[in-house]
Amino acid sequence: MLSLEEARDRLLAAVRSVTERETVPLRDGLDRILAEDLLAARAVPPADNSAMDGYALRCADWPAEGGLALAGTATAGAPFKGALPAGQCVRIMTGALIPDGCDAVIMQEECDLSGQGCTARVHLRRAPRPGENIRRAGEDIAVGDGLLEAGRRLRPADLGLLASLGLSAVEVLRRPRVALLSTGSELREPGEPLAEGQIYDSNRYLLTAMLRRLDVAITDLGICADTPERLQAVLESAARGHDVVIASGGVSVGEADHTRRVLDRIGRVDAYKVAMKPGKPFTFGTLGEALFLGLPGNPVSATVTFHQLALPALRHLAGERSGESPLLVPARAAAPLRKKPGRADFQRAVLFADGDGHRVATTGSQGSGVLSSVTRANAFIRLEAERGDVAAGDTVSVLPFDRWLM
Ligand SMILES: Nc1nc2c(c(=O)[nH]1)N[C@H]1C(S)=C(S)[C@@H](COP(=O)(O)OP(=O)(O)OC[C@H]3O[C@@H](n4cnc5c(N)ncnc54)[C@H](O)[C@@H]3O)O[C@H]1N2
Ligand code: MOO
């Protein structure tokens, strides 16, 4: 049996990232994978401008007996034309270009006004400091700055940044094509009536939702009955035109568990069984050009193996290069936890702040069919394979649910 880390390493080593690119409008760039390093072709902001509503002036004119006369106005998009005459200032709004000759902006709250019209004067209550309230050209981004690296999954602020540079489109990698099926003769589609012994297919719904967050192209192959002939036909056709085929169910050892035998016949089984709980029967291999991921049928096992194994593989396949490792938070166990040494354990739990630290409590029954243990949780307690029982108050590592699970 492979350790979780070995299984993940082997799986990642077996994945080839997509390289084909496409150009998408900026507004469609969210969650897509950037295809190239982006350098700034222009500066942001493009020119010195005011950070405040107030008065732009020359510091050398202070103290000004009788105040500064107003030479004109500068608003964002309508600059003051010409150079500032000595002993004068310019009424300026946030975002307006700094007029030639000015070296500071004083907030209007710090100024007094006297007179009106052409006799109006601006009086400062203190000495202006050179550069104050001026946002310099290139302060956010300078020409040639490295902005975003190839392999980045684009976030909302990234799209804003690219827009600030005037880019209307972005070069990204094509989406991975993923085929998804559930195996099991007992499974029915929600909405249909159930006969005796039947249950609804929940895995395809939860896995489709996680795949959507990943922004891959999904082909839903529906439910496949537990016959080797049927499964072989479905997998053979799925292997064509997809980068990955994901199936849940049928990876265990019973007579109706055909997945591995079929994979062995029409493709290759690269690994079977991982020392994790839940999720031990996780299987992966290849089907022609496609990667095959076989998740255990129990819904919690499918969720955990998808999160811990399929997700890193799919992100790598998508071309994502993120150096961030998942956040592990130390927390004290609110109650004792049962744990047999041997497999890394992912208990569903609620993590909460407690004084200066954190405490964590499980969401109850940890059966791998108890999907409500996941819906009630906001974290996994991650117990190392070799660890045994945990006493109340012991420190454990907690993996808060990330965007793929929340
Ligand atoms: N003798 C052994 N039996 C089992 C072992 C074992 O080591 N020796 N491992 C157990 C573990 S651990 C798991 S996990 C399951 C995994 O089995 P399969 O992947 O073969 O899954 P199935 O047998 O098809 O289903 C298991 C369970 O989950 C339900 N299921 C399946 N698909 C769905 C779905 N799409 N939506 C909702 N529920 C689903 C299915 O009805 C079963 O109840 O094997 C253990 N057995
Ligand atoms: O992995 Mo099974 O997932 O322990 O129920």
- Answer whether 190 contacts ligand 1 (Cβ < 6 A): no
The number of the ligand nearest the C-alpha atom of 200 reads: 1
In angstroms, the CA 33 to CA 130 distance is 43
Give the atom of ligand 2 at the shortest distance from the alpha carbon of 368.
Answer: 5
Give the atom of ligand 1 at the shortest distance from the alpha carbon of 204.
Answer: 35
* Other Cβ atoms within 10 Å of 57 Cβ, number: 28
Residue-by-residue DSSP string for 378-396: SEEEEE-TT---B-TT-EE
Q: Considering only CA atoms, which of 30, 339, 17 is closest in space to residue 156?
A: 30
* Other Cβ atoms within 10 Å of 98 Cβ, number: 25
Q: Are strands 68-74 and 88-92 parallel, antiparallel or unpaired?
A: parallel
- Answer whether 279 contacts ligand 2 (Cβ < 6 A): yes
Mutate-to-test residue for ligand 2 from 253, 257, 298, highest number of ligand atoms within 8 A of CB: 298
Return per-residue pLDDT of the chain as tens, 406 residues.
999 999 999 999 999 999 999 999 999 999 999 999 999 999 999 999 999 999 999 999 999 899 999 999 999 999 999 999 999 999 999 999 999 999 999 999 999 999 998 899 999 999 999 999 999 999 999 999 999 999 999 999 999 999 999 999 999 999 999 999 999 999 999 999 999 999 999 999 999 999 999 999 999 999 999 999 999 999 999 999 999 999 999 999 889 889 999 999 999 999 999 999 999 999 999 999 999 999 999 999 999 999 999 999 999 999 999 767 889 999 999 999 999 999 999 999 999 999 999 999 999 999 999 999 999 999 999 999 999 999 999 999 999 999 999 9
Give the atom of ligand 2 at the shortest distance from the alpha carbon of 280.
Answer: 1
ipTM: 0.98
Alpha helices in 46-170 (DSSP H): 156-164
Q: What's the whole-model pTM score?
A: 0.92
In angstroms, the CA 243 to CA 15 distance is 10
Cβ pair 231, 258 in contact under 8 A: yes
Give the atom of ligand 2 at the shortest distance from the alpha carbon of 369.
Answer: 5
- Answer whether 199 contacts ligand 1 (Cβ < 6 A): yes
What single letter denotes the amino acid at residue 240? R
318: three-class secondary structure by DSSP:
coil
Q: Which domains does the chain have, with CATH numbers?
A: 4-18+175-317 (3.40.980.10), 23-44+139-173 (3.90.105.10), 49-135 (2.170.190.11), 329-400 (2.40.340.10)
* Other Cβ atoms within 10 Å of 5 Cβ, number: 12
- Answer whether 29 contacts ligand 1 (Cβ < 6 A): no
Give 299: exposed, middle or buried? Use CB within 10 Å, 0-12, 13-18, 19+.
buried
- Which residues, in sequence order, are bridge partners of residue 2? 274
The number of the ligand nearest the C-alpha atom of 283 reads: 1
- Give the Å distance between the CA of 280 and the centre of ligand 2: 6
